[in-house]
Each structure stands twice: as C-alpha cells, then as structure tokens.
Chains A and B, each alone.
Chain A
Amino acid sequence: MKDIARQSLSIKVECMDLLNNQIKKEAHASATYLAMASWCDQNGFFTGAKFFYKQAEEEREHMMKIFQFVIDAGGNALSPEINGISHEYSSIVDIFENALDHEISVTKSIHNIVMKAREVGDLATEKFLDWFVLEQVEEENTIRDILDMIELTGIEGVGLQIIDGKINDWID
C-alpha cells in the first residue's frame, strides 16, 4: 500500500496542529498590539502607538509566514478566530509589561513546537522554526530595553513625554 498521506504532507500532523495553534497565537498577539496602539493613541503616547502599530504588523507577518509554511508542506492551514483582546491598561508601564508577558508566552509556544518536532523527527518544522527562535530573543529584548528606559527616565514631571519620544529609538 502506498503512503498517500506522506506523499501529500511533508511534515508530521502533530506539528501541523501545533503550527495551527501558533498561527492563532500570532494573530492574537497582532490583535493585542493593535489594542495597545489604540490605548497609546487615546492617551497621548503617539510614538508608543506608532511602535505598537508596527508590532501588530510584524506579528501578522509572523502568522502569515507560518500559514504559508503549513500550506507549502501540504497541510491544512486554518484561519484563526481571535477573541478575548483586552483594551484595558492602567499605564504605559502596564502596557509594556503585558507586551513582555505576551512575547514570553509566544517564545514558550515556539520552543514547545521545536521540542515536539525533535521528538517526532520532523526536521523540516524544526529548521523552519530556527528563525522564530532567534526572532523571539530579539522581540523580548526590545520590550525589556524599553521597560529599562522607562525605569531610568521615571514617570514624574515630563517623564512620560520623554518616554514616548524615546520609544522612537526602537522603531526601525
């Protein structure tokens, strides 16, 4: 008997399932950053808003990269449903702390897929995710650096205004 399934799909189905979950996570991250951009815009952090609009776009690009990989591998890529996006934040510090938590959760999820790919011998998925592993280091570092900058600047007096201006340093 021929293995028609293997002839049709280049990755393991378990990895395909996890990649579809990751598509959902990236879409959720993109929508979350959009909510953060909205909060920044409404609260006068216009550079912060610009930063999060860009982050939202980047997360969508990540999502599409995974989506395309699943399709190219012969899999069933699923368009994600997004819900549970919070628009409530208490301060600019709260926003960036949430953003860091979000990035850490995405990193953990990527690492989990890499480990699964290794376990089931799915080298294609493992290699594909190499870029994402390094990208997440960069993403976490960016948010950490901004949180450090906020701490150094302080939020008293014109601090918030300076913070918003300095965020521009992390916009390419």
Chain B
Amino acid sequence: MEAVFSSKYYTFFQSDKERCFYIDLGQKVVRLSFCQLLALRQKVSNIRIEDHFDAELNTHGFEILALCNKEHLFILNTLEILDLKELLVGAFAMFEVSLSPVV
C-alpha cells in the first residue's frame, strides 16, 4: 500500500495488489473501490461549505457522510470537511484521469 496524498488530518493510499484505495480518516481506515471513490468525491464536492456559516441552512456545522453504500458513517465538522475536500482534490491530481496534457 502506497501513500498517494496527505492532508492535515487524512491520508489517501492506493493498493496495487488489491486494486483499491484506502483513506485513513483517523477514527478508522476505509477501503474503497474506484466506483466508491468516485461516489465519495461526488458527495464531498456537493457539500456547500458556505452553508456551515448559515445558521438556517446548517444549524450545527456538521455533515453526516455515509460511505461505501452506507457501510461507514462519519460525522465531520467544517474543518474536517474542508480537509477531506483538499485530500480528494490532491489525490485525484495524482491520477492521469484529471491531468491536463502538457502543451
């Protein structure tokens, strides 16, 4: 298993042998297939962080995140969500699927 990218709180790993990814979320390490990773990326990018600063839209400033077809459930605060967003952007930037060609 190889570390691909680390943010302040979390680390993203890839396992060539198992053809999957792992995210160390502190409380536990989550195993994700590529499809599950895409789904997580979608969920996290859909979180409007601005809502955390609006008492009506997000009263407590937490997000409940269900991962891998509801296998895992996380409750993350604003800073953790920001960090998770950074982790996923950073991890995807390491893959060819999000690289722009060199001109």
Q: Give Cα distance in the complex from A13 to B21, angstroms.
A: 17
Query: Which residues of A are found within 8 Å of B38, using beta-carbon distances?
Result: 9, 13, 16, 75-76
Among B16, B20, B101, contact of A1 (Cβ-Cβ < 8 Å): B16
Among A4, A76, A78, contact of B21 (Cβ-Cβ < 8 Å): A4
Q: Give Cα distance in the complex from A78 to B21, angstroms.
A: 22
Q: How large is the interface on B (under 10, 10 to 19, 20 to 34, 35 or more residues)?
A: 20 to 34
Q: How many A-B residue pairs have CB under 8 A?
A: 56
A contacts with B: majority SS = loop
Q: How large is the interface on A (under 10, 10 to 19, 20 to 34, 35 or more residues)?
A: 20 to 34
- A2 to chain B minimum Cβ distance, whole angstroms, is 5
Indicate if A12 sits at the interface (CB-CB under 8 A): yes
Query: Which residues of B are found within 8 Å of A5, using beta-carbon distances?
Result: 34, 37, 92, 95-97
Q: Give Cα distance in the complex from A74 to B14, angstroms.
A: 18
Q: Give Cα distance in the complex from A14 to B97, angstroms.
A: 8
Q: Give Cα distance in the complex from A43 to B22, angstroms.
A: 58
Q: Give Cα distance in the complex from A11 to B99, angstroms.
A: 11
Q: Give Cα distance in the complex from A143 to B72, angstroms.
A: 50
- A84 to chain B minimum Cβ distance, whole angstroms, is 18
Within 8 A of A (CB), among B5-19: 14, 16, 19
Contact across chains for B101 and A120 when beta carbons are under 8 A apart = yes
Contact across chains for A4 and B101 when beta carbons are under 8 A apart = no
Query: Which residues of A are found within 8 Å of B95, using beta-carbon distances?
Result: 3, 5-6
Can you give 6 contacting A-B residue pairs, CB < 8 Å?
A12-B97, A12-B98, A13-B38, A13-B92, A13-B98, A120-B98
Instruction: Please name 14 further chain A to chain B contacts, defined as beta carbons within 8 Å, in addition to the given A4-B20, A6-B95, A74-B34, sorted by A numbering.
Output: A2-B14, A4-B14, A4-B16, A5-B34, A5-B92, A6-B96, A6-B97, A9-B97, A12-B98, A13-B41, A16-B38, A76-B42, A78-B42, A121-B100
The interface of chain B, by Cβ under 8 A from chain A, is: 2, 4, 14, 16, 19-21, 34-35, 37-39, 41-42, 45, 92, 95-101
